[in-house]
Chains A and B, each alone.
Chain A
Amino acid sequence: MKYVICSIRAAEIAEISVRNHRILGADVVLNEREVMAASIPGETLAQRVSHLGGKVYSIAQVKKKINTK
């Protein structure tokens, strides 16, 4: 499973509730499933993340970011 880090603002615009999510400053960590289920244009995760203005990470990369925040 991939994870997405995008701005909280972008997630809220996409109507993704960021409550109880990992917050990294002004960004939020979303998992692949919720990005794919959200009302965001795009067929693929990459296309959707592009609309969110975010970036895709592996679990190891996200854990590293959380642990070094």
Chain B
Amino acid sequence: MSIAVACDSAFSPLTQVYDSASAEYEPDRYVSPTVIRPIITANATDGSWPDPHANHALANMKWYANGVDISTISSWEGKYEIDQVGATRGSLIIYRNVAPSERISLHFEAVLADDRLGVNLPIVTDEIILSTIDKSVDSWSADLSADKSILYNPFLDKLHLYDYKVSHGLISASSGAEAAARDGNEYQRTIPFQVYKGGVRQTSGFTVQLYRVVSTSSLTELTADDDEVVSISTSAVVLDLRMIEKDNYMLIFKVSGSEIARVQFSVSRVYQSFTCEPSNDAPIVYGQTERYDEAIVNSEGKIVDCPASIIEIVWKTDSAYATGVTHNEGGTTEYQLSKTGVGQLATDDWLDIYTTATQKPCYSVAIDEDANILTDENGNDLIFN
């Protein structure tokens, strides 16, 4: 007599895969049951046992899980059947999923009635193991909490405006005002990310490296010493978006020096449409030698506060005797009328005042002719645009 045991369901094998991200078993035995068949073959040298396939003659059939009759185990109740028919009699049809933490050893016991001799032959199969692989256990993943396409619009940046006003003496520094200026549009942008292992968020046990994507095959690593990087931690990178025109970045996560995940994102500076007009409509009066003007910049239906902080405004005049005279750059202008070429007669005393205005590009770090970085008295890099 030969006793064997085998899985009889090729597409629902003994080992399941569990996806903790979706909380699904692959396959789910409730739908695709696993079938384990005891294979009992018997022969008699004298030919008195007519059919070698002996499953049909099994009796007192019991399956055991870790040595316990499964008919007595509550976790198996309603989750299995024992085939009672023909050549597959004794097969265990399993509708029960096995948790990744479980390992179930199954074996089959029965008796085979030998009518020739009037005895019951004991049948005990080898053990066969049910287990589950958690496919997420060793799989790491990472993603940004924020949009992967990050836009920086200087027109919306209240922190940049706050800095400008403080540095120009228009307001006093205030931690409250600075905090209020951080409304999500500020240049100092926190880009949070999450790292998962097996579907569980990790806050340590990995390192993060930030790269600028130079080309599809070339990355340049950045650190907090680089102009656009404020900080890199295991929960977020903070970038200074003022320093970025348009770039792609890659976050590479590593464990023990080996890469386990990467996330790419882009940063782009927004160029918003606007109008810029001189505001001084007052006529030039006799004896006047100087003229003052202030630019009014309108964008998206709003007057832009301190427009010179984000727009390069160049003041110009045309007159009867000089056209395209450039005066200064800034939100305001004050110039000598004598410089404009304006006449003194009714036919030549006209003066057109206008501006050429373009949004400033990203900032650059100021350097001297020897490429040394210029700093303030506290050692902070000076930037300009």
Q: Does A29 contact B (CB under 8 A)?
A: yes
B11 contacts A20, CB within 8 Å? no
**Are A34 and B11 in touch, CB under 8 angstroms?**
yes
From B95, which residue of chain A is reached at the shortest CB distance? A22
Known: A20-B8, A34-B11. Contact between A62 and B31, CB under 8 A? yes
Question: Which residue of the partner chain B has the closest CB to A58?
Answer: B24
Residues of A within 8 A of B93 (CB): 20
Q: Residue on A with the closest CB to B24?
A: A59
- Contact between A29 and B32 (Cβ–Cβ < 8 Å)? yes
B residues less than 8 Å from A31 (CB atoms): 11-12, 27, 31-32
Do A20 and B33 touch (CB < 8 A)? yes
Q: In the bound complex, how far is the Cα of B9 from the Cα of A33, in angstroms?
A: 12
Number of inter-chain CB pairs below 8 Å: 43
Number of interface residues of B (CB under 8 A): 18
What residues of chain A lie closer than 8 Å to B27, measured between beta carbons?
Answer: 1, 3, 31-33
Q: Which single member of B8, B11, B32, B91 contacts A37 (CB below 8 Å)?
A: B11
Known: A20-B35, A20-B93, A59-B24. A33 touches B30 (CB 8 A): no
Q: Is B26 engaged at the interface, CB distance under 8 Å to the other chain? A: yes
A33 touches B31 (CB 8 A): no
In the bound assembly, the distance between CA atoms of A37 and B27 in angstroms comes to 15
A13 interface residue per 8 A CB criterion = no
Determine the distance from Cα of A29 to Cα of B9 in the docked complex, in whole angstroms.
14
Inter-chain contact B31/A22, CB cutoff 8 Å: yes
Interface residues of B in 19-72 (CB under 8 A from A): 24, 26-28, 30-33, 35
Q: Which chain A residues numbered 1 to 54 have a C-beta less than 8 Å away from chain B?
A: 1, 3, 19-22, 29-34, 37
The reply to whether A3 and B30 form a contact with Cβ atoms under 8 Å apart is: no
Judge whether A3 and B8 touch: CB under 8 Å. Answer: no
- Please indicate the chain A residues that have their CB under 8 angstroms from the CB of B8 in the complex: 20
Shortest beta-carbon distance from A56 to chain B in Å: 13
| Contact call B31/A59, Cβ cutoff below 8 A | yes
When the two chains form their complex, are residues A29 and B35 in contact, meaning their CB atoms are under 8 A apart? Answer: no
Q: Please, which residues of chain A bring their CB within 8 A of the CB of B91?
A: 20
Known: A20-B9, A31-B12, A34-B11. A59 touches B33 (CB 8 A): no
Contacts of B10 in A (CB 8 A): 34
Complex contacts, B32 vs chain A, CB 8 Å: 3, 21-22, 29-31
Partner of A66, one of B11, B26, B31, B83: B31
CA distance A32 to B17 in the complex (A): 14
Can you show 27 pairs from A to B with CB atoms below 8 A apart? Answer: A1-B27, A3-B27, A3-B31, A20-B33, A20-B83, A20-B91, A21-B32, A22-B31, A22-B32, A22-B33, A29-B31, A31-B11, A31-B12, A31-B27, A31-B31, A31-B32, A33-B11, A34-B10, A34-B11, A37-B11, A59-B24, A59-B28, A59-B31, A63-B28, A63-B30, A63-B31, A66-B30
Seed contacts A31-B12, A63-B28, A66-B30; 5 additional CB < 8 Å A-B pairs: A1-B26, A33-B11, A34-B10, A34-B11, A59-B24
Q: A-B pairs with the 6 shortest C-beta distances?
A: A34-B11, A1-B26, A31-B32, A31-B27, A33-B11, A20-B35
B residues near A, CB below 8 A? 8-12, 24, 26-28, 30-33, 35, 83, 88, 91, 93
Q: A residues within 8 Å of B by Cβ?
A: 1, 3, 19-22, 29-34, 37, 59, 62-63, 66
